[in-house]
A and B are shown apart, each in its own frame.
Chain A
């Protein structure tokens, strides 16, 4: 049997042959599960965009979103590194370095019992939390970003639906969905996206000259290959690429257009990335993964072994500043309800301290955080035990988290996609946190 696949056509109106059709046809009441065997209904949120803040390395939940009694690295007493403070959600505390966010926490939902049993190795866990699947050897799974952009496309014509601000890595890739559902990436807000940003030394007059010369060659080749659709399609892609590279989309990367007070409010490079994410949302990008990969702040980034712990609070403060500003900024722009913010990490860290005063890895329980996106926020879902080593109630698997994100974005988490003839549900039987939906 052959699965019907629509023959991709190059179309200026859509980016990367992406079609967002299909979603609108479904009723408001929710999605009926399309997969065989189950007749489940899933909530349907109204978020249009997703900003995924990636705390690579393994953010210590006890030192951020799930504070417990304070420990002591010197005396090897397990516990949080910092005192906790009250927040805008009654009875929910976060660490003292998340002051700004604490005041806005009613816009957030804390998922405190996320867990997996992937070996405590960064690459394996990073892959798992991005794709929601264990590697099986028979299929390469797409990342959440690729899934969302595959399902929903970009909001505006001719722009990439999926942007990564960070280094390219396979875990962020499109898997069996194919290269066209990959991402555009940039590693630094000072530089635009690789492949779309012209080098600094090619000014616009020079580019115009270049395009003139190229125009002659294109004309000549088109004439010699008349009727050859394969060539014509590629030639059209060239045209679209120039339109994209010089069009409105690229102005998103000119951050100096923003008020300097706002830029300052966002803070350092991570904050600027968050601000850029907001600008990309405004231009219709569907999914933006923002990596907080500035490991020189404390030496190890979020992977706070040994002395990485010493300056972890600076990382947390930067996260807090950027996050609080992002939420208020989106709110001001009336985008918060349409934009789901997700804070993710590959695993948490144990309450115990290692020989160097830092922390090891812990997959058994850790925190992810959602904000905005039109969800019923203002709650912490799931409780952990005394030192946040194990879930006590409401454990959430990574597929559950993915299902929650999908539902928030109006995507049926049980829908089957196809790798050749093989049906693959979007999430691995994930159950959304239904209490977040009206």
Chain B
């Protein structure tokens, strides 16, 4: 940390303030500085293009300069407004440029003859430079800026290109390109037909890898080259060297073609439209030497448009944040911004998350990449000198009262894994200041305040070409005098706070963790509002559609509810009828504590909190269960509790490293938001099928990605059909399904609907000739490889009639498919969803298996039909369905009392809910919830320094709930890539049925017990070093420190962990175990450490994982992780360890892993 060296001091004079903003622009505008710069380098030709007539003057010095005047050909628009001097201070305000419209116009400069200054032969050095403003450039196009030869003039060979500076369109960007033809063979035109390869051999073309966006304003372009030295080529964009490659004919030391053909500006090849420039050209110069990088750097001076702040409109006491999109394709500061797309406030200059963008349907979308975050606030600091720190992941700039105070560098993308491991922060790193995360850049500076308000404007680029758009931890912090230390010891001499107009937030770990969590929570709330705003029209559409469904259903008879014989709701009347017929007495209702734990697990996915439990038990009202159901259905955990289920069913399968094996995008975020918004389930299915929004950052478009799958849409069709229609089309991928009624064609017709195009059958989706499978009676292949199947809905019985009116875009087969699937004309979709939910809540479906109903009967067909209708009539509202089921006696009975005689529908009576084991995610979430600890695992990425694109490395962030995890992709088996804390959690998840990859859909996990399940809980690092470890951030530690009788503590811990009081025997045993030392357990100690020890993992990323040092560091990190979380110093060790034993026993109890 060379922070003292990098310190960037500047002083502000009093009264500068806003005036400074204007001054920056005004001070720089001296007349004609640019021409002086060019002329100083003594060009042989320099066309400033400031002309007013048809003669284009050469401004280069020399007696024969006039020989090189040019002439306008075609409609070149002379006198166009050139670079605005406010942003390009080197230019005169009245500077002009020449306009070309891509239609064959050009400027002709005659060659003065043999050995003219425009001829370049072997050994000659050349620099070509110009300013360009590109209106449009097609991908694949090469537009001429300036070139000699290849004019198509009579008397010259066609391919006589001595040299040319061109722009090449690629990936939407304009890239600098250089071209010449060598004289090796090209000098003697060969008669007859030369092959293309032969023809190309003599062309030598170099093209830059990166460019600028057409329409993004003025850019300076240049190339330098020494003929005869192939490796000497260099390209420049906006004064900075750009990497590139010889992409045609290879690098060559050959001599170029030299003749007396003309130099043309703006076109070539006989003024062919395709080679003509479209936009403005200015200041074209040719030098007979190689200008060095320093000289070319002087050409480009850009002052970003001044931010005109009406300081009075800035919010008081808050930082105004604006987001601007479309600032070019690569990260640089050379852009102008339009209106902000988002404006909001934060309390301080500290950013860890940014608002999401949503489509009109309310699904996650991508912003332009990169985009700009601008944060502004007036802040009053005490008079005197202050030390500041700007910390950012991607390039950022901080202006104070209009003057640049600090600037950080841009990310240099990529890196192969062999980079060095940086040293850890030096010993003099400020005490308590949070350490920078991997890849973050720091700039320190000092600033003198007069004690008045100063305007701080932070501009930060987010993302860039080949990068994920991530904010990282973007902060501006300022050193403040420390609080006087209590007791005179231990306090740091100084402290850093986030720069803020009003808030006081220390930039240490404790305060940052709380600040960033609050920011993310705020963003989640405002994102929900943003979704509502974005999709207001969509909401209206669905409301109307559900009204139409109600009208449609009103014409159909409803299934009759049996008359009441016992208590309970309508559900129970259906159940009672069958129970009575079978003469089975149902199980009694559970006690209140059991009910509440079950309800909490089925809604929030975690046990009730102590407060929720105590309030419920104390409630004496008769309808308290119904009221509790409403309360718990409103908890945010509802969404978390459904994500894991749909990740399985929909095969959500994001890979964090170079996606393979049917990887999808992380559409988990869309699933979560869908359930957080309690989206109608027909809308959920429709959005999935439409596959819109962001592919890599959480939109349903991520479902459309299926890497390394040769028929991704057939795969998606299988998932959609099993998830929503309980049709198993898996076998139909390669042949007509032997055990189902499905033909291969039906799957491919469905796939074609998703593809919006006929789907061809690849070889792999057939049975190979030499397979061990007999194609014959049972298995038939009716499609041939290569056949094309047109989009068609072939499952009329599952929704056809009346569907068309629901397809909003009649010609879009995805919309049609969604309409067919969710059509009210058939209640198949509603029944499938109802049955899936029923199985989750009662442990067994009304139809089994839930994903494949071929030839399966329902145990209670009338109940299923009635529930489906209820569901449809109530707008496909899953919470409505949940309310119905949770209020039934069938749900509220004691579990596990009646074993089903068989799996046959006739024997499924629902006399007692099946005993359900917690899903893996519920188990892990519950363990962290009852101990009141954060998961605090590693950031789920292998690209910690954000040097890669999302298509190669995802970043799933820090997991707060178990569904956020994914496989850790250490397929390369490399120690430096391990994530020990996360792995310890994943070990548990996986053992309990969670899948690290979901290559295919799964509707019901195998819940049979095995030895490794209790083993991993009992012995694993998560169960010991995390869960059963009393730490300072653990709610149970606070409980243990509080003054209370030991039996009360034991009762409280039982209530918290197991939602019940201990039995007398348990109480006696646990009290006895904790008795010794209870009175003296508390240790008086100072406040919590506000900064954690430096974690060496913060030095590691993919870019240096092959460095030996990285493995060593990671081994040490693994070792530390094995020891677990740092225990609290507030409890004496001996007693603490016994309390941890108690906790260990409770979470390892079989009771904990089951829904009660």
> Which A residues are closer than 8 A to B by beta carbons?
1, 8, 10, 15-17, 33, 35-38, 54, 56-57, 121-124, 126-127, 134-140, 158, 160, 166-171, 173, 178-180, 182, 184, 187-188, 191, 194-202, 206, 209-210, 212-214, 216-218, 220-222, 225, 227-231, 233-238, 240-242, 244-245, 291, 293-297, 299-301, 303, 305-308, 414, 416, 420-423, 425, 429
Contact = CB atoms under 8 A, between A and B. Distances in A.
B1150 A231 contact: yes
Given A123-B657, A139-B1000, A194-B987, A201 B1123 contact: yes
A231 B970 contact: no
Interface stretch (B130-138, B789-797, B1017-1025): B1017-1025
B907 interface: no
B578 to A, nearest CB: 22
Contacts of B712: 137
Contacts of B973: 54, 56-57, 166-167, 169, 291, 293, 301
B1137 interface: yes
B1019 A167 contact: no
Contacts of B1148: 210, 214, 238
Interface in B928-975: 967-975
28 contacts: A1-B739, A15-B1011, A37-B773, A56-B973, A137-B710, A140-B1000, A167-B978, A169-B969, A180-B1010, A194-B987, A196-B1015, A199-B1123, A206-B1141, A210-B1148, A214-B1148, A216-B1070, A227-B896, A229-B899, A237-B1011, A245-B1019, A293-B973, A295-B976, A295-B1106, A296-B1108, A296-B1112, A297-B1108, A308-B1106, A429-B770
Contact of B773 (A35, A158, A197): A35
A293 B1150 contact: no
Interface in B1018-1038: 1018-1021, 1024-1025
Interface of B: 416, 418, 657-658, 660-662, 706, 708-712, 714-715, 718, 730-731, 733-734, 738-739, 764, 770-774, 895-897, 899, 914-915, 917, 967-976, 978, 983-984, 986-987, 990-991, 993, 996-997, 999-1000, 1006, 1008-1016, 1018-1021, 1024-1025, 1063, 1065-1066, 1069-1070, 1073, 1106-1108, 1110-1112, 1118, 1122-1124, 1137-1138, 1141-1142, 1144-1146, 1148-1151, 1153-1154
A10 B1010 contact: yes
Contact of A295 (B774, B975, B1021, B1146): B975
Contacts of B1015: 195-196, 241, 244-245
Q: Which 10 A-B pairs have the closest CB atoms?
A: A195-B1016, A213-B1145, A35-B772, A293-B973, A241-B1015, A228-B896, A296-B1108, A296-B1111, A217-B1149, A137-B715
A36 to B, nearest CB: 4
A201 B1123 CA distance: 8
Given A17-B1008, A124-B661, A216-B1065, 5 more contacts: A122-B972, A124-B660, A135-B999, A171-B971, A231-B1150
Nearest to A195: B1016
A216 B1066 contact: yes
A16 B1122 contact: no
Contacts of B661: 123-124, 127, 135, 170
A364 B839 CA distance: 49
B1012 A228 contact: no
Given A37-B772, A187-B978, A230 B1025 contact: no
A395 B1030 CA distance: 60
Contacts of B772: 33, 35-38, 414, 416, 425, 429
Contact of A134 (B764, B899, B997): B764
A237 B983 contact: no
A206 B1133 CA distance: 13
B972 A221 contact: no
Contacts of A16: 1010-1012
Provide the main secondary structure of the chain A interface.
loop
Contacts of B711: 137
Contacts of A201: 1024, 1123-1124
B1149 A214 contact: yes
A243 to B, nearest CB: 9
A175 to B, nearest CB: 8
Which of B738, B976, B1012 lies at the interface centre, i.e. has the most chain A CB atoms within 10 A of its CB? B1012
Contact of A299 (B660, B997, B1006, B1106): B1106
A237 B1073 contact: no
A196 B661 CA distance: 30
A123 B660 contact: yes
B991 A221 contact: no
A422 to B, nearest CB: 6
Contacts of B733: 136-138
Contacts of A308: 1106
A245 B1023 CA distance: 15
Contact of B764 (A35, A136, A216, A297): A136
A227 B1122 contact: no
B1123 A57 contact: no
A431 B393 CA distance: 54
A120 to B, nearest CB: 12
A31 to B, nearest CB: 13
Contacts of A297: 1108
B1014 A241 contact: yes
Given A124-B661, A134-B764, A218 B771 contact: no
A300 B987 CA distance: 27
A121 B707 CA distance: 13
Given A10-B1009, A16-B1011, A127-B661, A36 B1016 contact: no
Nearest to B986: A168
A116 to B, nearest CB: 14
B416 to A, nearest CB: 8
A233 B1 CA distance: 58
A295 B706 CA distance: 31
Centre residue among A10, A136, A420 by max chain B CB count within 10 A? A136
Most-contacted residue by chain A among B709, B1024, B1066, B1151 (CB, 10 A): B1151
Nearest to A124: B660
Contact of A179 (B983, B991, B1070): B991
A160 B1010 CA distance: 11
Contacts of A17: 1008, 1010
A219 to B, nearest CB: 8
A428 to B, nearest CB: 9
A121 B1010 contact: no
B1020 A231 contact: no
A174 B418 CA distance: 33
A168 B970 contact: yes
Contacts of A210: 1141, 1144-1145, 1148
Nearest to B1006: A178
Contact of B974 (A222, A233, A236, A301): A301
A75 to B, nearest CB: 20
A271 B773 CA distance: 44
B1145 A217 contact: yes
Contacts of A222: 1150
Given A213-B1073, A225-B896, A195 B1145 contact: no
Nearest to B994: A179
B971 A126 contact: yes
Contacts of B718: 138
A375 B658 CA distance: 39
B91 to A, nearest CB: 44
A122 B899 contact: no
- Max chain B Cβ within 10 angstroms of own Cβ: one of A56, A180, A217, A423: A217
B970 A137 contact: no
A124 to B, nearest CB: 5
B268 to A, nearest CB: 35
B930 to A, nearest CB: 14
A416 B997 CA distance: 24
Contacts of A169: 969-971, 973
Contacts of A166: 973
B990 A182 contact: yes
Contacts of B996: 168, 170, 173
